[in-house]
Structure 1
Amino acid sequence: MTSPQSRTFTARLLLCTGPALIFALIVALIPLAHLIPPPAPTKSPEEIADFFASNTTGMRLGCVVMMVFFTFFATWSAVIIAMMRRMEGPVPVLTYAALACVGAGTVFFTIAPLTWAVAAFRPGDYAPETVRALNDWAWFSILFSWPPFAIFCTLIAVAVFTDRNGLLPRWVGYYNLWEAIFLVPFALIAFFKTGPFAWNGLFGFYLPTASFCVWMAVMSWALWPATKFRSPETFKERPLLSV
Structure 2
Amino acid sequence: MVSSPQRICAWAGPVCAVIWIVGLLVCAHFIPPTDPQATSQEVATFYAEHAVGIRLGMVLLLIGGVLYQPWVSVIAVQMKRIEGRQPPLTYVQFGLGTLFVLLFVLAAIFWQTAAYRPLEDVVMTHRLDDMGWFMFLISVPIVTVQGVAFALAVFRDREERYFPRWFGWFQLWAQVVFLPGTFIPLFKDGPLAWNGMFAFWIPAAAFTVWMCLTTWALLRAIRVEDPHRTLETVEGPRNSAMA
Q: TM-score, normalised on structure 2?
A: 0.90
- Corresponding residue of 1:192: 187
- Corresponding residue of 1:31: 26
Identify if the C-alpha distance between structure 1 residues 100 and 235 changes in structure 2 by more than 3 Å, giving closer, same or farther: farther
Tell me if structure 1 keeps the 8 A contact 2:35–2:195.
Answer: yes
Q: Is the counterpart of residue 201 in structure 1 residue 173 in structure 2? A: no
Which ranges in structure 2 are unaligned for 5 or more consecutive residues?
233-243
Please tell me the root mean square deviation across aligned C-alpha atoms, in Å.
1.8
Q: What pairs with 1:1-243 in structure 2 (closer than 5 Å)? A: 6-125=1-120, 127-166=121-160, 167-228=162-223, 230=225, 234=229
Which ranges in structure 1 are unaligned for 5 or more consecutive residues?
1-5, 238-243
Matched AA of 2:41: E
Aligned mates of 2:198, 2:4 — CA distance in 1: 38
What is the deviation of 1:14?
A: 1.1
Q: Deviations over 1:2-61 (max 9, x none)?
A: xxxx22211111111111111111111112000001011000000000011111111100
Tell me if structure 1 keeps the 8 A contact 2:140–2:179.
Answer: yes
Matched AA of 2:146: F
Tell me if structure 1 keeps the 8 A contact 2:72–2:98.
Answer: no
Number of equivalenced pairs: 231
Matched AA of 1:178: W
Q: Helix, strand or coil: the match of 1:43?
A: coil
Matched AA of 1:68: I
Aligned mates of 1:146, 1:236 — CA distance in 2: 42
Q: TM-score, normalised on structure 1?
A: 0.90
Tell me if structure 2 keeps the 8 A contact 1:15–1:76.
Answer: yes
Tell me if structure 2 keeps the 8 A contact 1:87–1:165.
Answer: no
Identity of aligned residues (%): 35
Q: Helix, strand or coil: the match of 1:69?
A: helix
Q: Which has the higher contact order (CA 8 A, sep 6+)?
A: 1
Aligned mates of 1:190, 1:13 — CA distance in 2: 37
Tell me if structure 1 keeps the 8 A contact 2:55–2:112.
Answer: yes
Aligned mates of 1:100, 1:88 — CA distance in 2: 16
What is the deviation of 1:163?
A: 2.1
> Which is helix-richer, 1 or 2?
2
- Corresponding residue of 2:235: none
Identify if the C-alpha distance between structure 1 residues 151 and 236 changes in structure 2 by more than 3 Å, giving closer, same or farther: farther
Tell me if structure 2 keeps the 8 A contact 1:49–1:131.
Answer: yes
Aligned mates of 2:190, 2:148 — CA distance in 1: 29
Aligned mates of 1:210, 1:108 — CA distance in 2: 20
